[in-house]
Chain A
């Protein structure tokens, strides 16, 4: 029983990371209609910047702030890059996919050149702190992950619900033509959406780096799991991304804990495929979402 609770806490912590990865994907998708396959790389970027700053002796908070700043700049740049051609035409799905995959290749390689390919772990003040669960002790980090994810989710939600820029973002998300008719500056909102997605990814990267060692090549699995989380939830639904992330994280941890590593690796894709076959629009997506194209 205690073991189960232990695995559940660990699983929820890992799930929180996937939830944040998925939240980044969803934020961008609702804001701009783009699916970003480089979301994992933004997480890695945040993580590695934080590792560099912290290991230079500046402390965890400085690392987090530096990561946020760098990732925000990356988000603005990517946003500008991807918004430019959209002024004149709608981008096809395949173009978006290979465009963001190209960004992913570039960022992964650059990160490898700058930081090396070795996995690195982020030192944090919580290192060595454990939360007792019966006879077992859960690293406090997993709790931090959950709290951090909740805070980020809350902030993003607050921004969308309570600010004027958030209002315009939601207008764009609901309908680009209607928002354009209403005078919303679509291009600017797209850049904002990219920036928020990048920020969410960067913070998620910093949070996860204390638990899992992060290498440039971690971007792909992180991104894939984030996508799994987002798609399971329904791609256009932030709460769905959180639900999807927690489902994937829990399933993975339980499968790894009670079965074996092979099953653990297959869980995320399997859950994704099963959900999509049964509910083509995702768990919280619209039921009629199964139209082609």
Chain B
């Protein structure tokens, strides 16, 4: 420690000239030395400004994150301090059917919801982009589900998809017969996916509208002059122009889809659908880790898996984007 501190002193006073490694001196090196107080302030002031933000990040993000990772290697329960169990929780995950069901459902959610949320809001944005009378109403209407409470939205959809609900009444009226949207494991999961897509359309539509506003009109005009039709113009002009926005939407929606909880919880119930077959990973964390007998260590191990997969998803999307750039 001492030697390091001593080594830092000459640098602080700006004493040495060109470095022994042959680097060129910076202008600051030749300037008059700053008083120590000012130099100290230069170091401390930015940290003071950042301190409130750092404190919030530390307390609400970093601490729970580190705590979760630590807990995942223990057998901690809600009212009992855990002891270190190594990788036992992760090994148990491999043999837990419910974990694989959760992983399957969360992955399926990403595979279905993300493409829908990348493409459909773009098409919607193209529709409402046009400046025609009354278009503001449609923009607002498409955005309304975004601001609606997920609990209210979920309950309304449950009411509509019930065996005696609106959708089944219509299906019966047209002779299609009743469909068990809320009793069949797959229909239930896809119904929840539909709600997620319906609720997210407006949000991503707004992002696309901002991106579309930056696409030069000349490009479309030039393509039209060259004989390109609407589909060709969409694929060759619009899509490349908003590609970076599509990557952003894919990244945001894939993370959100993998962490889905509310829609499935509200529609499939706390047990996660018939025999728990619609359970997602986050639902499993909630079910396993909460309550007076909750297994915090095991639930933390599931959370760590969710974190790893989420980071992997982000990297995958960014990598795909970089490949496209090349």
Decide if A and B are genuine partners. Answer: no
